[in-house]
Amino acid sequence: MIKLAYIDPYAVPDTRVASLQILQNVDAFARHAMQVFVVTPAGQTTAESLLGRPVSQGVIFSPLNDPRGKWYFPFNTQKLFFLMVRRWLKRNPVDAIYTRNLKMARFLLGQNLGIPVIFESHEIFAQSFKESHDLSRPKNQRKYQILLENERFVYQNAAAIVVLTSFLEEDIRRHYNVDTPCLVSPDGVDSVAANDALPSGPYAPATPASIFYLGSLHPWKGIPTAISAMRHVNGARLTIAGGNAEQIATLSALAQKEGVADKIAFLGYVNPRDRFQEIARHDICILPLTKTSIASRYTSPLKLFEYMAMGKAIVIADLPSIREAVDESSVFFAESENSDDLGRVLQFVVDNRDEAQKRADAALTLSKTFTWDHRAEQISLTVHSLLQQS
């Protein structure tokens, strides 16, 4: 059995989206001939509280002390944690290392550990930084150059790269001129939890129709477009789940300005364990993503697969990254960042329940190919192949 260390400088288990993804990944890895050591700072919650069940037997949590934020360590640097990881690896032999944290990967690959390091990339960080910062400022230019150098080193020296979309692989190879082995493996869905939450009785749409968004409220998610779109939608209400108080206040003000406050409700934080039950309560689920590189080329949205697994009608931004997973047979597309078009599509879905149900059923069937277990099997084969070559 392969011994794999999954290493991250942030706590697992934790309520962060990235932490939940890691938790579901290692849970699935352990069902595919791997013993997985989760080497992170100690989490403040339990796997059961997030997944609604224990993790697989092959998952071993190996928390390390994280002094950041403690009264005796008033610094935010991760360097001390990195050194503790190196000491842990010397004391606990493993066959391979897996990480999705760029700084962690850069450190590990510079240590000459003699252990293959697999890096999971979710974006080109330098590109995302460039899109969101003013590079005319010297400080930002320095940070940008550091990101470029770190990414180039990691992509050139990793044993393999796992990416979410073929577009991300294409951009990595073009930007950094690397021939490192690369596996395209999209995100997945917790099929066990989704199946448990599927309603047992016949589908009964709400009146007015219930439109739902669940996820973070980061700008690239496109929630302002969805709020503006509700100007064009009759016979429906939009519920937005997720985000912090400041984000909700900003979006509430936008809803007032657009004159749609009476059509929109903010649910706030939803425990990951309850997300499928919450999705089940609604008719139409949305992902109004923006045209940023992370959304248009790199994302493999967890929520898309979770909506699909719950058999929901889905309205989603028409972007290359999304079309790599689904087409018009299973979802409804709307032009990204176009509130008028999104409103038009939403009204069509509200008014055409039979077509909405037809595509929802197709999405449910397609969701069986997007599971964490399917992803773990792909990655497990890659790890086996790397070890056989070494």
Enumerate the β-bridge partners of residue 331: none
Lowest mean pLDDT among 10-14, 73-77, 308-312: 73-77
Beta strand pairing call for 182-184 and 160-163: parallel
Enumerate the β-bridge partners of residue 213: 240
* CA end-to-end span of the chain: 16
pLDDT at 229 over 90: yes
Q: Supply the pLDDT for residue 71.
A: 59
Q: How far apart are CA 2 and CA 32, in angstroms?
A: 10
370 near 305, Cβ under 8 Å?
yes
pLDDT tens-place string over residues 338-383: 999 999 999 999 999 999 999 999 999 999 999 999 999 999 999 9
Tell me which H or E stretch contains 3.
strand 2-7
Q: How far apart are CA 49 and CA 43, in angstroms?
A: 12
Q: Is the peptide bond before 205 cis (omega within 30 degrees of 0)?
A: no
282 near 256, Cβ under 8 Å?
no
Three-state SS for 234?
coil
pLDDT tens-place string over residues 27-68: 999 999 899 999 999 988 999 999 989 999 999 999 998 777
Q: Supply the pLDDT for residue 198.
A: 86
The DSSP-derived string for 333-345 is EE-TT-HHHHHHH
Q: How far apart are CA 309 and CA 367, in angstroms?
A: 5
How would residue 205 be classed by pLDDT, with cut points 50, 70 and 90?
confident
Q: Supply the pLDDT for residue 359.
A: 97
CA 251 to chain centre: 22
pLDDT at 76 over 70: no
Own/partner pairs for 347-352, CB < 8 Å, 24+ apart? 347/232, 347/233, 347/234, 347/236, 349/284, 349/313, 349/315, 350/209, 350/233, 350/234, 350/235, 350/236, 350/284, 351/235
Residues making up the chain, counted from first to last: 390
The DSSP-derived string for 273-342 is GGHHHHHHT-SEEEE---SSHIIIII---HHHHHHHHTT-EEEEE--HHHHTT--TTT-EEE-TT-HHHH
How would residue 73 be classed by pLDDT, with cut points 50, 70 and 90?
low
* Mean of per-residue pLDDT scores for the chain: 93
Enumerate the β-bridge partners of residue 332: 315
Which CA distances in Å does 330 have to 165, 255, 325? 19, 30, 10
Q: How far apart are CA 323 and CA 369, in angstroms?
A: 15
Model confidence, pTM:
0.90
Amino acid identity at 62:
S
Q: What are phi and psi of 38, to 5 degrees?
A: -95, 105
- Averaged pLDDT, 270-279: 93
pLDDT tens-place string over residues 313-325: 999 999 999 999 9
pLDDT tens-place string over residues 128-184: 888 889 989 999 999 999 999 999 999 999 999 999 999 999 999 999 999 999 999
Exposure string over 45-54, b if 16+ CB within 10 A, otherwise e: eebeebbbee
371 near 191, Cβ under 8 Å?
yes
Q: Supply the pLDDT for residue 206.
A: 76
The percentage of the chain sitting over the pLDDT mark of 90, rounded to a whole number, equals 81
Among candidate residues 300, 299, 303, the one with its CA nearest the CA of residue 315: 303
Exposure string over 85-98, b if 16+ CB within 10 A, otherwise e: beebbeeeebbbbb
